[in-house]
Chain A
């Protein structure tokens, strides 16, 4: 019995599966998206916390805001002596007013699908 052809087909499938990313992407560079900062955000220079913290932990921060606001009615977030209104729609989206350019870019890139906007509204995007 010559089963080598079958084995070679099997191995070809194996190689294809384990190199799937290479031929799926076809070598098209896919660098991390650049977020577009609004003028207001640029002017502010810094978000409520430093950029590295915000990149890694903004979801924790927002989660904390939500809990305190809803459960304890504490609407103020104080950090480094500055006070912010703990509100996604009113504070965050005030600077980062374009959801598509700011939030979605990275979320889509790493396949994250937060449910913030199931409840919250965001500013209408300007038609380009």
Chain B
């Protein structure tokens, strides 16, 4: 048993209990329903902005794109304008593929020893799980906007239509909720079961996954099993979104507060964790720069003054030998 996931599991269970007891038994609904969500949002936004501005403070002294295709060369050599962009447009397309389609992850392969040779196999699983997970997450987040917007705008409704296209169950099953849980579980299983991945995993890798699994499980439970009065939920959330805070009459179930508290923890945790890859993926100098440093000069703001060994010093050192060898010199 690995302490890394033990700690993380423990942390998630304790956090769940805190909300369950705090909002449920002790009755601190105001704290868990109003104060903590606001606090989490402020920490998230301020922390995120602060972290990105901290990155921005450090310059990018050198142009270091990782080129993954043919450079711009003579006209008759076909450039790979996306994987080795030399223009801003190319970079934008490259970043689009990277951020929206996880281009680099799609290249993933696995090395195997087959008899007396190495072999490499293209493996799609990590990419697939990642896509499943991230897009499910996005769909779930957008769907939840129905609790924060009044009237509910068309794009949320349209997404609900698509997400509920199976038309099974009552309330109708939203695919994204199930696939989010599946994606998170698959990513977790990967970390637990694949020895290499297990070896490199830290508590900070298990914690967010378990937290998200907690969020998905409480959410699915409320929607499909224990039920919650969604009108009251929206009353609470709309109060938050419009600054007319209040706990709805009769209150809400403890499970709802566990769900909400998990979300708050996740959101507040983002700026201090690896989840900042959400912002960092935009700022990676190996991806967001054009490979044009032979065409345009790139400036290093701290370009240092260094001591060179000048030609004069060199000639002073070797003058006689140079003259003897018939090499031209500046000073005879």
A contacts, CB < 8 Å to B: 1, 3-4, 7-8, 10-11, 14-15, 18-22, 24-25, 27-33, 52, 55-57, 59-60, 63, 106, 108-113
Contact B146 A110 (CB under 8 A): yes
| Chain B stretch 225-275: residues in CB contact (< 8 A) with chain A | 227-235, 238-239, 241-244, 248, 250
Task: Give A112 to B235 CA distance when docked, in angstroms.
Answer: 15
14 example contacts (A-B, Cβ-Cβ < 8 A) are as follows A3-B60, A14-B49, A14-B52, A15-B45, A22-B242, A25-B149, A25-B238, A27-B243, A56-B229, A59-B170, A59-B171, A63-B170, A106-B231, A111-B157
Of A11, A22, A31, A106, the residue contacting B49 (CB under 8 A) is: A11
Known: A25-B150, A25-B241, A29-B244. A109 touches B231 (CB 8 A): yes
The answer to whether B146 and A7 have CB atoms under 8 Å apart is: no
Cα distance, A11 to B243, chains bound together (Å):
23
Q: Which residues of B lie under 8 Å from residue A24 when comparing CB positions?
A: 149, 153
In the complex, the answer to whether A20 meets B242 with C-beta atoms within 8 Å is: no
Q: Which residue of chain A lies nearest to B57 when distances are taken between CB atoms in the complex?
A: A4
Q: Do A27 and B152 touch across chains, with their CB atoms under 8 A apart?
A: no
Contact present for A30 and B45 (CB under 8 Å): no
Chain B interfacial positions (CB closer than 8 Å to A): 41, 44-45, 48-49, 52-53, 55-56, 59-60, 145-153, 156-157, 160, 170-171, 227-235, 238-239, 241-244, 248, 250, 279, 282-283, 298-299
Q: Which residues of B contact A113 (CB under 8 A)?
A: 157, 160
B150 contacts which of A3, A8, A30, A52 (Cβ < 8 Å)? A30
Distance between Cα atoms of A60 and B171 in the complex (Å): 8
- For B41, B231, B243, B283, the residue with the greatest tally of chain A CB atoms inside 10 Å of its CB is B231
Q: Which of chain A's residues have a CB closer than 8 A to the CB of B238? A: 25, 29-31
Closest residue of chain B to A60 (Cβ to Cβ) is B170
The residue of chain B having its C-beta at the shortest distance from the C-beta of A106 within the complex is: B231
Number of A-B contacts (CB under 8 A): 100
B147: chain A residues at CB < 8 Å are 110
Residues of B within 8 A of A31 (CB): 235, 238, 244
Neighbour of A111 across the interface among B152, B170, B235, CB < 8 A: B152
Expressed in whole angstroms, the Cα–Cα distance for A20 and B144 within the complex equals 12
The minimal Cβ–Cβ distance linking B58 to chain A, given in whole angstroms, is 11
Residues of B within 8 A of A20 (CB): 145, 148-149
On whether the beta carbons of A110 and B60 are closer than 8 Å, the reply is: no
A32 touches B149 (CB 8 A): no
Q: By the criterion CB–CB under 8 Å, are B283 and A7 in contact?
A: yes
**How far, in Å, is B148 (CB) from chain A's closest CB?**
4
Looking at the assembled complex, report how far the CB atom of A62 sits from the nearest CB atom of chain B, in whole angstroms. Answer: 9
In Å, the complex CA distance between A56 and B146 comes to 17
Q: Is there an interface contact between B52 and A7, defined as CB atoms closer than 8 Å?
A: yes
> Could you tell me if A21 and B244 are in contact, using CB atoms closer than 8 angstroms?
no
Given contacts A10-B52, A22-B242, A59-B171, 5 further A-B contacts (CB under 8 A): A19-B45, A27-B243, A30-B242, A56-B228, A63-B170
CB distance from A46 to the nearest CB of B (A): 16
Given contacts A18-B45, A32-B231, A63-B170, contact A11 B298 (CB under 8 A): no
Flag if A29 contacts B242 (CB, 8 Å): yes
Residues of chain A within 8 A (CB-CB) of B283 are: 7
| Smallest beta-carbon distance B322→chain A, Å | 42
Once the chains bind, are B242 and A27 in contact (CB under 8 Å)?
yes
Q: Which residues of the other chain, B, contact A55 by a CB distance below 8 angstroms?
A: 229, 231
B170: which A residues are within 8 A, CB to CB? 59-60, 63
* Contact status A15-B44, CB under 8 Å: no
* Cβ–Cβ contact A7 & B45, under 8 A: no
B60 and A1 form a contact (CB under 8 A): yes
Of A4, A28, A56, most buried by chain B (CB within 10 Å of CB) is: A56
Q: How far is the CA of A122 from the CA of B289 in the complex (A)?
A: 62
Known: A18-B45, A21-B241, A30-B242. Contact between A11 and B146, CB under 8 A?
no
Q: How far is the CA of A52 from the CA of B152 in the complex (A)?
A: 25
In the complex, A112 Cα to B147 Cα: how many Å? 11
